[in-house]
C-alpha cells in the first residue's frame, strides 16, 4: 500500500467561499500549526492532539479577501490579514516532500484564488552554527543540499532567497526587511527544539507583531513523528527510560493514522513569478563550505538531494535490511543505511523513513521482519532523545541528565584527549574509529560507543569534551542524539548503561572486527599483522617487532583504568545522594 498523503484542494483563479473554507479546514485538520498571539507566545490550533485555541475564518462578503485570525481565549483580538505573498522560512528541513510548513505555506498562498506567491527564505547564521559546534563538513553538506533545494524550487517558479546574518540579532532585521519588500502576509516555519532557537523564534514573532501586526506567523511541528509533548506516561509525565517510551510511541503511531500522513510537495507559483521576482531567482548560494577533508571524496560519499536520500533508503530496504540486526554491529560490512546525514539535515523526514520502512513490512512496526523492526526501533531512539531534549532542557546546557554525576572528578589530561582525537591511543579499534571520523566525517555507530566509552571510562575524560569533538567532526551531528549517546556511554544520562559496565576495547575489537579488516582499513600501520596480532599488537609482538610498526603504545592499562573509573564514579554518587 503506498504511503498516505495529504489531499490538496484544487487550485482556482477566482474567489469562492467554499474553496476558501475547504483550505482552512485542511490547514486546521491536517497540519499541526501554532499561531502567534498578541503576547508573542505560541498557541496551538492543531485538532489532532491538542485543544484548539486559535481559529481561522473568512468574511462572508465574496468581494472581500480578508482573513481574520482570532484567538478564542480573547474575543477582543482580531487581526485582518490581506492575502498577499507567503514566506516559507527553511531551516533544518531542506526538502519539498513531506515538509509540513512548506505544505501549509503552499496551501495558504492559494487561499481565495488570489495570485499571491510563495517565497522561500534561508538564513545563513554562522554565529548560531558556532553555538552548536556544527561541523564544517556538515555545513558544507547543508550548502550542497541548499543548492539542490533551490534548483527544485526554481522548477516551481518559487524563488529561494538566501541571506547571511553576521550576528544573530540580524535575523530579525532580515525577516522584517523581507516582509516589507515582498509584501508578506503570512510566514511559515517548522519549529526547532533547541532552547536558543526557540528564543530566536519568539523574538522574531514579537518583533513582527510590533512592526507588522497584520502579519500572521504560523509554526509547524515537523521534527518528530510524534510531538515530544504527546508521548507521556499514564501519570502524565515524560518518559526517562527508552523501552516504555518506545512502547507508547509505537501504540500511538499504530492507532493514530494521522501521525504517518505525508504532506505533498508545494504547488507551483503562477508563471509570472519568474518575472516579478527575477532578481531573487539569481540568489547566490555558496556551492560549498571550507573543510579539511578530501572534497571530491566527501561529495562522492554524500551526494546532495532528496533523490539521493530516498535511493539510499530504498536500496537499504531492498538489499541490506534482512541482515541488519547482526550486520549493523560489524563496521566493515557497511550493513547500515547511512541515511543519518540526510535525516539530520532534513533532506528526508523521519515520517518518510518510518512510512517507507513500514510499507516494506506489510504496514507493521512491532512485528514482521526482524531487520525492519530493528531499524525502526533505532528511529525510535532518535525520537526518544528529542523527547529528553524537550522535557529536560538542561541536557542541552552542558549539564548531565543525572545531576548527582556532576560530582565526578574528571582528569582533563590534554595529552590523552589529543591522542584520542588523533586516533593514537594504542588501542587499534579505538584508533580506527577516530581515524574514520577524521577522514570522512562519519563513524559507524558501534565505534561511536566504543570510542566514547574509552574516552570516559579508560581515560577518565569529561564526556562533554568528546561530545563537542563529535559535533565538530560529524556530517550527521545531531544535538539530541549526540548528547544522548554520550551521556549513555558516560553513565550520566537517562537509561544509561550502569557505571560499572565498562567496554573492554580488546574484546569489542575481537567480537565486532574478528578478522581485523576494519582496523586494517583505517590503521594501515597494522595492515600486515595476523588476525590474532592486530587487536593487541603491543602484547602480541616482541618489543622489536612492535617498534618497527611505528604505532603508539597503549595510552593506559585498561584494567587499571577501569578500576580507577569505577571507584571515582562510586565516590561521586555517594556525594551526590
Residues 346 and 453 in one domain: no
pLDDT on residue 17: 39
Average pLDDT of the segment spanning 486-494? 95
Average pLDDT of the segment spanning 96-109? 96
Asked if 483 contacts 389 with a C-beta cutoff of 8 angstroms, the reply is yes
Residues 327 and 448 in one domain: no
Residues 409 and 385 in one domain: no
Indicate the residue among 343, 368, 396 that finishes a domain: 396
Tell me: pLDDT of 34 over 70.
Answer: no
Indicate the residue among 344, 375, 396 that finishes a domain: 396
pLDDT on residue 113: 52
- For the chain, what is the domain count? 3
In this prediction the pTM is 0.86
Residues 475, 476, 481, 485, CA torsion sign? negative
pLDDT on residue 341: 98
Average pLDDT of the segment spanning 98-103? 98
pLDDT tens per residue across span 218-265: 999 999 999 998 999 999 999 999 999 999 999 999 999 999 999 999
Residues 190 and 208 in one domain: yes
Question: b or e along 513-535 (b: 16 or more beta carbons within 10 Å of the residue's beta carbon)?
Answer: beebebbbebbebbeebeeebbb
Residues 296 and 150 in one domain: no
Helix (H, G, I), strand (E, B) or coil at 395: helix
536: in domain: yes
Tell me: pLDDT of 540 over 60.
Answer: yes
Residues 482 and 547 in one domain: yes
pLDDT tens per residue across span 271-306: 999 999 999 998 888 878 889 999 999 999 999 999
* Domain containing residue 343: CATH number: 1.25.40.80
Tally the C-alpha atoms within 13 A of residue 475's C-alpha that lie toward its C-beta: 32
Exposed / middle / buried, residue 323 (Cβ in 10 Å: 0-12, 13-18, 19+): middle
Least reliable range by pLDDT among 174-183, 372-381, 490-499, 551-560? 490-499
Indicate the residue among 366, 396, 426 that finishes a domain: 396
State residue 33 phi and psi, 5-degree precision: -115, 165
Asked if 535 contacts 516 with a C-beta cutoff of 8 angstroms, the reply is yes
Residues 340 and 409 in one domain: no
* Domain containing residue 519: CATH number: 1.10.579.10
- How far apart (Å, rounded) are the C-alpha atoms in residues 48 and 530? 60
Residues 321 and 252 in one domain: no
pLDDT on residue 16: 36
pLDDT tens per residue across span 61-90: 333 333 333 333 333 333 444 458 999 999
230: in domain: no
pLDDT tens per residue across span 399-436: 999 999 999 999 999 999 999 999 999 999 999 999 99
pLDDT higher at 22 or 66: 22
280: in domain: no
Residue 244 has a CB neighbour count (10 Å cut-off) of 14
Residues 449 and 510 in one domain: yes
Catalogue the active-site residues: 378, 381, 410, 445, 463, 486
- How far apart (Å, rounded) are the C-alpha atoms in residues 501 and 566? 9
Cell of 112: 481565495
Cell 490547514 belongs to residue:
27
Given phi > 0 = left and psi -120 to 50 = alpha, else beta, which region is 320?
alpha
Annotation: binding site: 324, 336-340, 375, 378-385, 476-478
pLDDT on residue 32: 38
- How far apart (Å, rounded) are the C-alpha atoms in residues 109 and 119? 9
Residues 485 and 565 in one domain: yes
Cα 147 from chain centroid? 19
Q: Which domain holds residue 429?
A: 403-576
Given phi > 0 = left and psi -120 to 50 = alpha, else beta, which region is 545?
alpha
pLDDT on residue 577: 63
Average pLDDT of the segment spanning 343-370? 97
Annotation: binding site for FAD: 324, 336-340, 375, 378-385, 476-478
Average pLDDT of the segment spanning 150-155? 97
Residues 75, 79, 83, 86, CA torsion sign? negative
Residues 376 and 486 in one domain: no
Residues 419 and 389 in one domain: no
Would you place residue 111 in the very low, low, confident or very high pLDDT band (cuts 50, 70, 90)? confident
150: in domain: yes
436: in domain: yes
pLDDT tens per residue across span 451-468: 999 999 999 999 999 999
Would you place residue 497 in the very low, low, confident or very high pLDDT band (cuts 50, 70, 90)? confident
pLDDT on residue 84: 87
Amino acid at each position: 500500500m503506498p504511503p498516505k498523503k495529504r489531499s490538496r484542494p484544487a487550485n482556482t483563479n477566482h474567489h469562492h467561499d467554499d474553496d476558501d473554507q475547504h483550505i482552512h479546514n485542511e490547514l486546521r485538520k491536517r497540519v499541526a500549526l501554532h499561531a502567534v498571539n498578541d503576547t508573542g507566545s505560541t498557541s496551538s490550533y492543531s485538532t489532532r492532539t491538542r485543544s484548539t485555541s486559535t481559529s481561522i475564518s473568512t468574511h462572508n462578503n465574496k468581494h472581500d479577501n480578508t482573513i481574520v485570525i482570532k484567538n478564542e481565549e480573547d474575543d477582543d483580538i482580531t487581526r485582518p490579514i490581506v492575502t498577499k505573498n507567503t514566506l516559507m522560512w527553511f531551516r533544518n528541513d531542506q526538502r519539498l516532500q513531506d515538509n509540513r510548513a512548506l505544505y501549509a505555506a503552499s496551501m495558504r498562498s492559494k487561499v481565495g484564488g488570489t495570485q499571491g506567491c510563495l517565497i522561500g527564505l534561508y538564513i545563513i547564521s554562522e554565529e548560531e552554527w558556532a553555538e552548536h559546534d556544527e561541523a564544517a563538513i556538515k555545513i558544507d553538506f547543508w550548502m550542497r543540499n541548499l543548492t539542490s533545494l533551490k534548483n527544485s524550487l526554481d522548477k516551481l517558479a518559487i524563488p529561494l532567497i538566501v541571506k547571511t546574518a553576521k550576528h544573530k540579532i540580524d535575523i530579525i532585521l532580515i525577516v522584517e526587511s523581507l516582509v516589507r519588500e515582498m509584501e508578506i502576509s503570512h510566514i511559515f516555519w517548522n519549529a526547532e527544539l533547541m532552547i536558543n532557537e526557540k528564543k530566536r523564534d519568539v523574538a522574531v514573532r514579537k518583533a513582527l507583531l510590533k512592526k507588522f501586526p497584520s502579519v500572521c506567523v504560523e509554526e509547524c511541528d515537523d521534527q518528530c513523528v510524534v510531538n515530544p509533548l504527546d508521548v507521556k506516561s499514564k501519570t502524565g509525565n515524560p518518559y526517562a527510560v527508552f523501552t516504555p517510551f518506545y512502547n507508547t510511541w509505537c501504540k500511538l503511531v499504530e492507532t493514530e493514522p494521522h501521525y504517518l500522513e505525508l504532506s505533498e510537495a508545494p504547488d507551483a507559483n503562477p508563471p509570472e513569478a519568474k518575472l516579478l521576482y527575477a532578481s531573487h531567482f539569481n540568489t547566490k548560494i555558496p556551492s560549498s563550505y571550507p573543510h579539511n577533508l578530501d572534497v571530491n571524496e566527501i561529495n562522492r560519499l554524500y551526494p546532495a538531494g532528496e533523490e539521493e536520500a530516498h535511493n539510499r533508503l530504498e536500496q537499504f530496504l531492498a538489499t541490506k535490511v534482512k541482515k541488519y540486526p547482526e550486520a549493523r554491529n560489524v563496521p566493515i560490512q557497511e550493513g547500515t543505511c547511512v541515511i543519518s546525514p540526510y535525516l539530520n539535515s532534513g533532506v528526508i523526514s523521519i515520517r518518510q523513513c518510518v512510512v517507507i520502512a513500514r510499507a516494506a513490512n506489510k504496514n507493521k512496526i512491532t512485528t514482521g521482519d526482524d531487520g525492519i523492526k530493528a531499524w525502526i526501533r533505532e528511529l525510535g531512539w532518535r525520537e526518544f532523545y528529542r523527547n529528553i531534549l524537550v522535557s529536560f532542557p538542561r541536557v542541552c546546557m552542558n549539564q548531565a541528565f543525572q545531576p548527582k554525576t556532576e560530582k565526578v572528578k574528571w582528569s582533563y589530561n590534554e595529552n590523552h584527549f589529543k591522542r584520542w582525537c588523533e586516533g593514537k591511543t594504542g588501542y587499534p579499534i579505538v584508533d580506527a574509529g577516530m581515524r574514520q571520523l577524521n577522514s570522512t566525517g562519519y563513524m559507524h555507530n558501534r565505534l561511536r560507543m566504543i570510542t566514547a566509552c574509552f574516552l570516559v571510562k579508560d581515560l577518565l575524560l569529561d564526556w562533554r569534551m568528546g561530545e563537542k569533538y563529535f559535533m565538530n567532526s560529524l556530517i550527521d551531528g545531531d544535538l539530541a542524539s549526540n548528547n544522548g549517546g554520550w551521556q549513555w556511554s558516560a553513565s550520566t544520562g537517562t537509561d544509561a548503561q550502569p557505571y560499572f559496565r565498562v567496554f573492554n576495547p580488546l574484546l569489542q575489537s575481537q567480537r565486532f572486527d574478528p578478522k581485523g579488516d576494519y582496523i586494517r582499513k583505517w590503521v594501515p600501520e597494522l595492515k600486515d599483522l595476523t588476525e590474532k596480532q592486530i587487536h593487541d599488537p603491543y602484547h602480541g609482538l616482541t618489543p622489536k617487532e612492535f617498534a618497527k610498526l611505528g604505532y603508539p603504545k597503549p595510552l593506559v592499562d585498561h584494567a587499571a583504568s577501569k578500576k580507577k573509573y569505577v571507584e571515582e564514579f562510586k565516590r561521586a554518587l555517594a556525594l551526590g545522594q
